[in-house]
Amino acid sequence: MPQTHYSTCTLCEAMCGIEVTTDGDAILSIRGDKQNPFSQGYICPKAATLKDYYDDPERIRQPLKKANGQWVPVSWEHAIDTVANRITDIQSEFGLNAVGLYLGNPNAHNLGALLYGPLFYRALRTRNRFSATSVDQLPHHIVSRQLFGHQMQIPIPDIDRTDFFLILGGNPLASNGSIMSAPNIKQRLKAIQARGGKVVVVDPKKTATASLSDHHYYIRPGSDALLLLGLLHTIFDLNLQKPGKLSELAPELPVLAQWVDDYPPHKVAGYVGMTPEQIIHLAKMFATAKTAVCYGRMGASVQQFGTLSQYLITLLNIITGNLDAPGGAMFTQPAADTRNQKSRGGFGNHCSRVRKLPSFGGELPVACLAEEIMTPGEGQIKAMIIGAGNPVLSTPNGRQLDEAFSSLAFMVSVDFYINESNRHADIILPPVTALQRDHYDIVFHKLAVRNCASFSPPAIAPRDDELSDWQIYLRLAEKFDSHYGAPTAHYASLHAQQPRGVVDTLLKEGRYSESHKLSIDTLLNHPHGVDLGPLQTALPEALFTEDKRIHLCFDFFMADLTRLNAHFFASPAAKHVVLIGRRHIKSNNSWLHNNPRMLKGSNRCTAQLHSSTAASHNITDGQRIGVKSRVGNIEIDAEVTDDIMPNVVSIPHGWGHTHQEISSTVAIAHPGVSCNDLTDASVVDELSGNAVLNGVPVEIYPITA
Ligand SMILES: Nc1nc2c(c(=O)[nH]1)N[C@H]1C(S)=C(S)[C@@H](COP(=O)(O)OP(=O)(O)OC[C@H]3O[C@@H](n4cnc5c(=O)[nH]c(N)nc54)[C@H](O)[C@@H]3O)O[C@H]1N2
Ligand SMILES: Nc1nc2c(c(=O)[nH]1)N[C@H]1C(S)=C(S)[C@@H](COP(=O)(O)OP(=O)(O)OC[C@H]3O[C@@H](n4cnc5c(=O)[nH]c(N)nc54)[C@H](O)[C@@H]3O)O[C@H]1N2
Ligand code: SF4
Ligand SMILES: [Mo]
């Protein structure tokens, strides 16, 4: 008998509600859930892949162990024991930090991994912990930690009420929005325009989002911080600042005028690639709009001055009175709130061994992972654990990391595919897929443009011999704790409680326990989810700082102006070719390239470049070209377009499925090339240690047959 289940798509941050029909252990269909109050039936083409990768015969369903270069299926017990023994042996020989851990992006969408993962990595007792955060949103965390006292107190654009939405380096029409969970973003952007507001995009590419916008400004990659300084300068120059109540909450605010005094539009314009008039016009539009919000994502964050950019974006929202105001950048009111004083995020509590890059929230920047494996000495990483990630394709200088991985004494991976990274593994522990586990969005409800809550049980019950990520982590953690003589009595109750038990407690202790009587049971009775209303003004209560003030930390952030000045003003505006990234609606980082439905149409792994840049390099549309950086070179097809700035080349990431050992024959047949063979792990955004994946200097040349 077919059954209908309501659930949430976990592939990206939009949290679209889905209607899943099943029959026994077969998924029959996946559609948008029209009754979901947040997404109202919207889904993108990727939702269907939840069924495809559940069905995929190439997905790993049983633990695998490498023996003489061949993968052989083994029992869970044998696999878990082997991992625990090998890891603790390596730790006893080389020290606790000889084990490295990398956690990839899908963990953020995985309830169990989020709630029980921390137990695992504490039990692992290593300082060498890495994640996709440092190729992504690390700047947002640091800015929120410093200013608002908590890494996860990130202001979210209130796009459903704003009159002016300024997007720097984000393409939500492809990505469906990031650090801004907002299903059917296109509709929401059009609604801004329909109510007389404006959408403005600053991007080196005329993206789909830029095409929909009212104004699109091209920007030279990596120069957002300069543009923001120019905008702030103009606002003071024209006396347009109106921080309102925020001046009381941030008493240092008046000093800002001095910090930005040196950045008049005519001085920064040439480096940014805009005219002084455009900068002044943009500043005026932003500051005089009834409500406005500036939002910056990958392009503004994952570049050489990404942390400074995120900081200046926040200051721009503050100085115009648009922080904590409807239509501005607002704090969210999540129903299950895991934030507390302990999880605020410590900056620089320890440093990486070789390059001395600072930790944040207990993690080291992944840009230094390869050197931590390859540099001999005490604390050298000898074994790696990778959970739901593919750093060979997703982190800078992937080729170097690939080489580093091949030198490891031991690697284990928690994943249901063999990818470019875990092909080096000795053991692979495959968890169940998304529709086979409980789901509550612990992270993305905190980052959503509207307060809401939904919980879904598995649409397909896992078999007895199938484990969720959290069960794998918990079993391993217990083994480690037992080995190190730590108490293990609590593990039985953790297994019994399950992640849903933790969520239940959080909901019952949360802010809607009275008003909406929220609990797992309530949410089970509301399978489409519960709407909890628009974002609310929340200051000063939302601050995690002891004095309930916003700490502008000028000395910390503005120290980076020295580096910025030296980078830009030492020479005339640079004209060399630089690499940027791009996303496509039918791609998802390094995976889903094994899905024929998602691969339909022409090759997407191309190097887009402007016709004038193509002409000056003797390149024609469709031609094979070489792209070369300090660290590597790739060959790729050129796609000549006028929708990109001259001297910029745009290449998507996550491709480069060139190794025959990966599990997907479909991906092998559509390999593409990895742009992270060009990005440079030795260059980081120095304020945070975040990787620099946009604005990477490259040379391009035609390949003549
Ligand atoms: N040049 C460039 N590089 C980039 C970016 C860019 O814009 N440009 N973007 C960066 C960003 S923002 C990110 S987040 C990273 C992402 O990079 P990573 O997090 O390193 O990689 P993903 O491709 O997300 O990893 C997907 C892997 O997780 C597995 N997986 C999927 N779901 C699950 C699950 O539920 N459990 C388990 N155990 N495994 C699962 C898949 O099978 C696949 O092998 O890439 C970064 N790299
Ligand atoms: N379909 C799909 N959706 C996804 C993902 C995916 O891989 N595929 N990945 C998910 C993940 S992990 C994340 S983090 C989000 C990311 O979400 P977004 O940040 O919206 O993602 P991108 O599409 O990479 O947009 C980055 C934009 O920055 C521009 N850019 C590059 N350099 C600069 C610069 O120096 N300055 C400025 N102003 N702009 C610049 C690029 O041209 C690009 O348009 O998407 C998520 N959603
Ligand atoms: S937009 Fe994101 S959450 Fe919504 S269906 Fe697509 S992948 Fe899933
Ligand atoms: Mo990401």
499 Cα to the center of ligand 1, angstroms:
23
211 Cα to the center of ligand 2, angstroms:
15
224 Cα to the center of ligand 4, angstroms:
19
pLDDT at residue 705 in the model: 63
Residues with C-beta less than 6 Å from any ligand 1 atom:
104-106, 110, 132, 135-136, 298, 387-391, 394, 414-417, 419, 431, 434, 469, 581, 589-591, 653-654, 675-676, 679, 693
In a domain, 568, yes or no: no
Average of per-residue pLDDT across 675-684:
98
239 Cα to the center of ligand 4, angstroms:
37
Indicate whether 485 and 368 sit together in one domain: yes
Indicate whether 396 and 516 sit together in one domain: yes
- Residue 95 predicted with pLDDT over 90: yes
pLDDT in tens, 538-560: 999 999 999 999 999 999 999 99
**The two structure tokens encoding residue 666:** 């479909």
Which atom of ligand 3 is found nearest the CA of 8?
A: 3
Q: What is the pTM of this model?
A: 0.98
| CB 12 near ligand 2, within 6 Å | yes
Q: In the 8-state DSSP scheme, what is residue 94?
A: H
pLDDT at residue 704 in the model: 78
Nearest CA to ligand 2 atom 4: 175
| CB 685 near ligand 2, within 6 Å | no
Among the bound ligands, name the one nearest to the CA of residue 170.
Answer: 2
Q: Residue 261 belongs to a domain with what CATH number?
A: 3.40.228.10
Among the bound ligands, name the one nearest to the CA of residue 393.
Answer: 1
Nearest CA to ligand 1 atom 24: 105
In a domain, 479, yes or no: yes
Are residues 495 and 474 in contact, defined by beta-carbon separation less than 8 angstroms? yes
Ligand 2 mutation pick, 580, 595, 643, max ligand atoms within 8 A of CB:
580
Domain count within the chain: 4
Label residues 146-174 b or e (16+ Cβ within 10 Å = b): bbbbbbbbbbbbbbbbbbbbbbbbbbbbb
587 Cα to the center of ligand 3, angstroms:
11
Among the bound ligands, name the one nearest to the CA of residue 585.
Answer: 2
303 Cα to the center of ligand 3, angstroms:
26
Nearest CA to ligand 3 atom 2: 12
| CB 175 near ligand 2, within 6 Å | yes
Residue range(s) defining the domain that contains residue 301: 158-330+547-559
Q: What is the residue-averaged pLDDT of the chain?
A: 97
Which atom of ligand 1 is found nearest the CA of 582?
A: 7
pLDDT in tens, 634-667: 999 999 999 999 999 999 999 999 999 999 899 9
Are residues 365 and 689 in contact, defined by beta-carbon separation less than 8 angstroms? yes
Ligand 1 mutation pick, 8, 589, 655, 696, max ligand atoms within 8 A of CB:
589
| CB 592 near ligand 3, within 6 Å | no
- Residue 427 predicted with pLDDT over 90: yes
Indicate whether 356 and 459 sit together in one domain: yes
68 Cα to the center of ligand 3, angstroms:
41
Indicate whether 354 and 309 sit together in one domain: no
Q: Residue 627 belongs to a domain with what CATH number?
A: 2.40.40.20
Q: How does DSSP assign 218-236, residue by residue?
A: ---TT-HHHHHHHHHHHHH
Start-end of H helices in 485-537: 490-509, 520-525
105 Cα to the center of ligand 2, angstroms:
14
Among the bound ligands, name the one nearest to the CA of residue 444.
Answer: 3
105 Cα to the center of ligand 1, angstroms:
5
Q: What is the rounded distance in angstroms from the CA atom of residue 263 to the CA atom of residue 230?
A: 5
Nearest CA to ligand 2 atom 42: 205
Confidence band, pLDDT 50/70/90 cuts, at residue 220: very high
Indicate whether 407 and 502 sit together in one domain: yes
Q: Residue 32 belongs to a domain with what CATH number?
A: 2.20.25.90
Indicate whether 419 and 497 sit together in one domain: yes
Up-side HSE of residue 415: CA atoms within 13 Å toward CB?
30
In a domain, 567, yes or no: no
Which atom of ligand 3 is found nearest the CA of 32?
A: 5
Indicate whether 368 and 455 sit together in one domain: yes
What is the residue whose two structure tokens read 């704003």?
A: 162
669 membership: H or E segment, kind and range: helix 665-669
In a domain, 593, yes or no: yes
How much is the CA Rg of the chain, to the nearest whole Å? 25
In a domain, 570, yes or no: no
Q: In the 8-state DSSP scheme, what is residue 368?
A: G
Q: Residue 484 belongs to a domain with what CATH number?
A: 3.40.50.740
391 Cα to the center of ligand 1, angstroms:
8
Indicate whether 175 and 289 sit together in one domain: yes
- Residue 247 predicted with pLDDT over 80: yes
In a domain, 571, yes or no: no
Nearest CA to ligand 2 atom 13: 178
169 Cα to the center of ligand 2, angstroms:
7
Indicate whether 86 and 201 sit together in one domain: no
Indicate whether 71 and 179 sit together in one domain: no
Among the bound ligands, name the one nearest to the CA of residue 109.
Answer: 1
pLDDT at residue 384 in the model: 98
Which atom of ligand 3 is found nearest the CA of 45?
A: 6
Which atom of ligand 2 is found nearest the CA of 171?
A: 20
CA nearest to 369, candidates 352, 345, 385, 351: 352
Ligand 2 mutation pick, 49, 301, 583, max ligand atoms within 8 A of CB:
583
pLDDT at residue 598 in the model: 94
Indicate whether 363 and 422 sit together in one domain: yes
pLDDT at residue 553 in the model: 98
In a domain, 537, yes or no: no
Are residues 533 and 452 in contact, defined by beta-carbon separation less than 8 angstroms? no
| CB 434 near ligand 3, within 6 Å | no
Average of per-residue pLDDT across 678-682:
98
pLDDT at residue 60 in the model: 97
DSSP lists the bridge partners of residue 67 as 70
What is the residue whose two structure tokens read 């625990």?
A: 84
Q: What is the rounded distance in angstroms from the CA atom of residue 381 to the CA atom of residue 395?
A: 17
Which atom of ligand 1 is found nearest the CA of 417?
A: 42
pLDDT in tens, 462-493: 999 999 999 999 999 999 999 999 999 999 99
pLDDT in tens, 314-335: 999 999 999 999 999 999 999 9
Ligand 1 mutation pick, 135, 636, 659, max ligand atoms within 8 A of CB:
135
Label residues 104-130 b or e (16+ Cβ within 10 Å = b): bbbbbbbbbbbbbbebbbebbbbbbbb
Ligand 1 mutation pick, 105, 175, 595, max ligand atoms within 8 A of CB:
105
pLDDT in tens, 173-214: 999 999 999 999 999 999 999 999 999 999 999 999 999 999
Average of per-residue pLDDT across 582-590:
97
What are the C-alpha distances in Å from 69 to residues 66, 250, 584, 595, 661?
Answer: 6, 60, 35, 27, 10
Average of per-residue pLDDT across 380-407:
98
In a domain, 383, yes or no: yes
Indicate whether 310 and 377 sit together in one domain: no
| CB 581 near ligand 2, within 6 Å | yes
**The two structure tokens encoding residue 398:** 């992937």
139 Cα to the center of ligand 4, angstroms:
12
- Residue 400 predicted with pLDDT over 80: yes
pLDDT at residue 42 in the model: 98
